[in-house]
Chain A
Amino acid sequence: METEKPLIPLTPAVFYILLALASSEKHGYEIMKQVKQDSQGQVKMGTGTLYGSLKRMLADGLIEEAGEKPDPTRADERRRYYRLTRLGRRAFASELQRYAQVVSIAGQRRLLPTFSWEPGV
């Protein structure tokens, strides 16, 4: 049986790719844009880094190809889409749980910074 344990903790690149694919299957450039958006511009993944990570994630069984689909914006181009596998989902959930635990512990120890919420800002 496959287990996600050896894969945890995930690298930031892998984590953000899983996060990007968690909602829906995406092709390479969509993943790049989603990662940039999810990390609020802090993680800017280049093409080389993205496909290197995708290759390793495919090998680890975290993601799989969802087949090729035509690009809706360009009729003559086909794109390769990726989606999470069951292992990928479990690994992502485990990682989120780990983050939650860390945040919880940090909260209990009053280590979290205080945020001031100002609507409209």
Chain B
Amino acid sequence: MKQQQDVQRRARAERVYARFLRLYPCAHRRAFGEPMLQAFRDHYGDAIETEGEQTARFWLRVVGDEGKSLLREHIAAFAERIWFMKMLFVTLTLGLWQRRQTRRLALVTQLCLIAAVLLVWTPLLVGRVLLVTSQLGLGLVQSNSGSVSYYLSAEVERPTNQFVSAFMQATADIAADDLHAYHFSSSRVEISTLALALTPVGASAAPTPAFLLDGAPAARLATDLRVVEGRLPVPAVGVLEVVVTLATADQLHLALGAALPITALAGQQAPLVRVVGIVQTVGTVFPTKRTAFDPANQDNVWNYAQSHPLDYVLTSDEAIGTYAYDWAQIASVQQFFSQSSGNTPLPPSENPLWQAWWVGTTEYARMDAQDLTAFLSHAVPDPTMRLNQLLGVPPLAQQTGFVSADTSTGFYQGNIDYTDQVFQALLSVWLFAAIVAGLLVGVLGPVTGRLAERQQSLIAAQRDRGASRGRVVGALAVQALTLAGLALFAGGLLAMLVARAVVAALLPGPARPVVDTLVGGPFDAGLGMTGGIAAVLLSLAAVLVMLCAMRRATTPEPTSDHQSASG
């Protein structure tokens, strides 16, 4: 009975020790696993069964010894691996350039890779510069030395003080030639682009144009509007007379003669805005959905108007200088909202007062610095589609000298063209990259195969020193990666230089400053990055091809063994 227990205990101990052995590095386990287990078996038998050593004490000694040995063997295995890879790398990769048999082929491989990277990367860099500079003519891009282009993007629906101050700061930056990408986004900002005919109190009565209703000539009012009560507004000094639609009057609880509180500008008296009439729209001048405005230009304004039917405050439409585009005044609209709706702000889309002020949306996103600065300083009219529509109607167009051809249509069309050009350019470049990759694969396969064949003696020497085939292939992979890495670096650098030279030759003088920014480096520009990605993918494909060729070349041929065996 005791003997049986001893046998079971010994078997259990052997199983535990066998588990210990699994923790050793593979090579050590293969070489010494079996004799170690045997030695343990003997040791256990002598120590426990013959000498009667305590089991716990025995295991404590075993665990302590095995722990130290495990650590030592793993460190040794790691060091050996590192040493081996270093040795293989030095022998194989650096050896390429030292040995006459491989030097020329390595050079051919390297040059092929560099040429491929250059071919893929350069067109993208050149293409980007030319594409962007082609937009100069459309006024979409501002070119200055050291900087290229920007869009001052203001997505505005409702005004907020933060937005206004940020926007004003941006315009100041632009005016100071500090050009960079601007983007403002606020769901609560909208800018009125149609000037209100406010004349500061005390100012002399300015000549006012014929009355227009939201851009429509007065002559059409008779057919398109029905005055419910009151009268149509007339220009007046210090007072803005407005008529509102019936819906707006209901929403705002505006009665005839009601005044809209407008905050005074610093140092000036507050303008008085008074409701002098309430009207109903019956014609197409004021469609509740603005599909009637230029359907050919289905831009954001048009889309927005489609989904946001609006009522209007009808004003005379004389530009009013500082009042019209004064941001403090716009901000004051918000205050008015707060007053009318108590402490609970109305949702933006249902804000009735804003509807009252909504007479147009300005899309600043597509304006360049010059136009935007000019617009903000009231030197030129708003070039957006909505205002163009208004300005296209005489006599205001004539008065402002606005040329219809320079309308937002050009801007929008320019953007569409730009997007199309970018897409086509990218498509062409990727197709071109694919062709280059195909050619590269075709050339590299045989060349690197021969390269590996010429390293046969070196590889055989390494195998004799105990390098496994996997390690040799690993070292060859490092070799291929080194060649590809060098090609990426050199090819990218060359691409930048070539692109700079080509673009400088193609571009007219004034546009050349663009080159400095766009070709600052192959990793800088947007399309340059695309080129970089294409080049990296190409290099990886080349590494794979090289590896396959090298693997084939290092695979022992079974037929030769067979022949030698039979011989």
Contact = CB atoms under 8 A, between A and B. Distances in A.
Q: Do A and B interact? A: yes
Interface in A51-103: 51-52, 54-55, 77, 79-80
B258 interface: no
Interface stretch (A1-9, A24-32, A112-120): A24-32
A104 interface: no
Given A27-B35, A28-B35, A47 B73 contact: no
Nearest to A50: B39
Contacts of B72: 52
Nearest to B27: A55
Interface string B474-510: 0000000000000000000000000000000000000
Interface string B24-38: 000010011001101
Contact of B66 (A48, A55, A80): A48
Contacts of B31: 55
Contacts of A55: 28, 31-32
Most chain B CB neighbours (cut-off 10 Å) among A33, A48, A52, A77:
A48
A48 B35 contact: no
B39 A29 contact: yes
B345 to A, nearest CB: 76
B74 to A, nearest CB: 11
B61 A52 contact: no
Interface residues of B, number: 21
A50 B42 CA distance: 14
Contacts of B35: 27-28, 51, 79-80
B20 to A, nearest CB: 8
B70 interface: yes
A46 interface: yes
Interface in B273-302: none
A29 B42 contact: yes
B40 interface: yes
Interface in B55-78: 61-62, 64-66, 68-70, 72-73
B61 A46 contact: yes
B43 interface: yes
A16 B75 CA distance: 24
B40 A44 contact: no
B557 to A, nearest CB: 32
A49 interface: yes
B38 A79 contact: yes
Contacts of B66: 46-48
A49 B61 contact: no
Given A47-B36, A47-B66, A52 B73 contact: yes
A54 B69 CA distance: 12
Contact of B70 (A28, A45, A48, A50): A48
Contacts of A33: 46
Contact of B43 (A29, A49, A54, A77): A29
Given A52-B72, A52-B73, A54-B32, A47 B61 contact: no
A47 B21 CA distance: 11
Contacts of B46: 33
A28 B68 contact: no
A52 B43 CA distance: 17
B36 A46 contact: no
The 4 closest A-B pairs by CB, nearest first: A46-B65, A48-B69, A29-B42, A28-B39
Interface of A: 27-29, 32-33, 44-52, 54-55, 77, 79-80
14 contacts: A28-B36, A29-B39, A46-B64, A46-B66, A49-B65, A49-B68, A51-B32, A51-B35, A51-B36, A52-B69, A52-B73, A55-B28, A55-B32, A79-B38
Given A27-B38, A32-B39, A32-B43, 16 more contacts: A28-B35, A28-B38, A29-B39, A44-B61, A46-B61, A46-B62, A46-B65, A47-B39, A47-B65, A48-B36, A48-B70, A49-B69, A51-B36, A51-B69, A54-B32, A79-B38
